[in-house]
Amino acid sequence: MEKIIRRILREITETEYLYWRLPKKLIDELGIELYDEDDVAYLNEIHFDTREILVELYTHVNGELEWYDGITDVPPTFEGVYSFPLDELPKSVKDFIGRRLDPKYMKYIITEDQNKILWLRRRLDDPEINELLTDIVIEGFDYTNACDYDTYNGYEFNVVNGSVMTFINSYIELYGEESFDSAPLEDFVARVIVSKHRHRIQREYRDRYCPEDEDESDY
């Protein structure tokens, strides 16, 4: 693995987002504590310059995988992100990484959209960013009338999508000055909004007041 890392360092310092699911045996060897035995851990980033790996944990919520961070189902005592020095990894984990770093099987170049996603991921716990995101979602309620939607899914879709572009356009680090494929970034921000604010959007839809419903009930 060392030879591979030295070769990679000639060109880049970190990988694109990896999504390498860790087997349960490796999770145990790394000493990672899962909230539920069915939860999963992904090795998502390798920083070759600082010689660290980043592992993130996910739990199942309504049939979908959601990050530990920001999910009320997972107690805050459970860490959502782990970082490990490459040099201190168990041999089994090094072998797991080494097999997947073979240049014949993986592309390392970070695309512009991936770079922006990485920028945001490292700031998901920033109070200023979270406060702005909350304000944007709440503001979206003023522009998306819950009474215009027969189902919750349609309402959530429009609230989230409207909030996505407002949020991205709030940071030059996200919208940038040059054109790029923004679809992956938009999808990522949408998932962040859903994971952090679905309960808020659900409450807004559930507590909607529609005068026309009262008019129909009079007949």
Q: If DSSP codes are grouped into helix, strand and coil, which group holds residue 154?
A: helix
pLDDT in tens, 21-54: 899 999 999 999 998 888 999 998 888 777 888 8
Query: Which tokens in the block code for residue 7?
Result: 């070769």
User: In degrees, to the nearest 5, what angle opens at C-alpha 14 toward C-alphas 57 and 164?
Assistant: 60
d(CA 78, CA 32): 10
d(CA 211, CA 208): 10
The dihedral region occupied by 78, where left means phi > 0, alpha psi between -120 and 50, and beta the remainder, is: beta
pLDDT of residue 103: 54
For 124, 147, 150, 174, 193, the CA distances from 162, given in Å and listed in that order, are: 19, 17, 19, 16, 11
What b-and-e string marks burial along 18-43, b requiring 16 or more CB atoms within 10 Å of the CB? Answer: bebebeeebbebbebebbeeebbbbb
Query: Which tokens in the block code for residue 1?
Result: 């693995």
Number of H helices, E strands in the chain: 9, 5
Q: If DSSP codes are grouped into helix, strand and coil, which group holds residue 17?
A: coil
| pTM: predicted TM-score of the whole model, two decimal places | 0.53
d(CA 159, CA 127): 22
CB atoms within 10 A of CB 96: 20
- Percentage of the chain with pLDDT > 70? 79
d(CA 175, CA 93): 36
pLDDT in tens, 118-131: 788 888 888 899 99
What b-and-e string marks burial along 136-173, b requiring 16 or more CB atoms within 10 Å of the CB? Answer: bbeebbeebebeebeeeeebbebbbebbbebbbeeeee
pLDDT of residue 218: 44
Q: Point out which residues pair with 60 in neighbouring strands.
A: 65
**Tens place of pLDDT for every residue, the chain, 219 residues?**
555 545 544 444 555 567 888 999 999 999 999 988 889 999 988 887 778 888 999 988 887 778 887 666 788 888 888 999 988 888 888 888 877 775 544 444 445 567 788 788 888 888 899 999 999 999 999 989 999 999 999 999 999 999 999 999 999 888 876 667 788 889 989 999 998 899 999 999 999 888 865 555 443
Q: Hey, where are the domains in the chain? A: 2-110, 113-217
